[in-house]
Amino acid sequence: MSRSVSLILISAATAALLLIISITNGLIGGQPLKVVTVEVPVVMNNQQKVESFVNELMTKRQASCLLWIFTKESHINPNAKNPSSSAKGIGQLLDSTYQNIGLKHSADPIAQVVASIAYISRHYGSDGACAAKAFWQKNSYY
């Protein structure tokens, strides 16, 4: 004998209420109530993804410096393009910079952050993003 199962997604509050009713009344409709928890990913825009990634990856100080650079360079826009050079993306890296670090430009904002961090790490050393920020403040680029 086959048995069909129906799945209905409900809010946590509704699930709690149904669980209370189920416990109070025993069985609902002759069958026990099964509560299933489904994790729903939070939808984030590109800026939120980048900020979340950078804040998880780096110290607070380094993250603040890197996000400052990204804001100055592109307003944290992965589609930003410099009309007078090959610079593009969140970190406004040049095509030659991508070649030098051994990566390809990607439309993905997280891939752009990784490429920017790779460049900054090689170019600015141990103080990384904060050294790049200090350089940017003097020269309007990093």
Q: Residue 75 has what pLDDT? A: 97
Mean local confidence (pLDDT), 104-129: 95
Q: Which residue has the higher pLDDT, 11 or 137?
A: 137
Helix (H, G, I), strand (E, B) or coil at 1: coil
Look at residue 110 in the predicted model and tell me its pLDDT: 96
Mean pLDDT, the chain, rounded, equals: 84
Q: Where are the domains of the chain?
A: 1-40, 46-139
CA distance 30 to 94: 66
What integer is the mean pLDDT of 76-100? Answer: 97
State residue 49's pLDDT score: 94
Q: Read off the pLDDT of residues 4-62 as tens digits, 9 standing for 90 and up.
A: 444 455 555 555 555 565 555 554 455 555 555 656 567 899 999 999 999 999 999 99
Q: Residue 2 above 60 pLDDT?
A: no
Is the pTM value of this prediction over 0.75?
no
String of DSSP letters for 79-139: T-B-TTSS-BTTTTB-HHHHHHHT----S-HHHHHHHHHHHHHHHHGGGHHHHHHHHHHHH
Question: In this structure, is the dihedral angle defined by the CA atoms of residues 40, 45, 46 and 52, taken in order, positive or negative?
Answer: negative
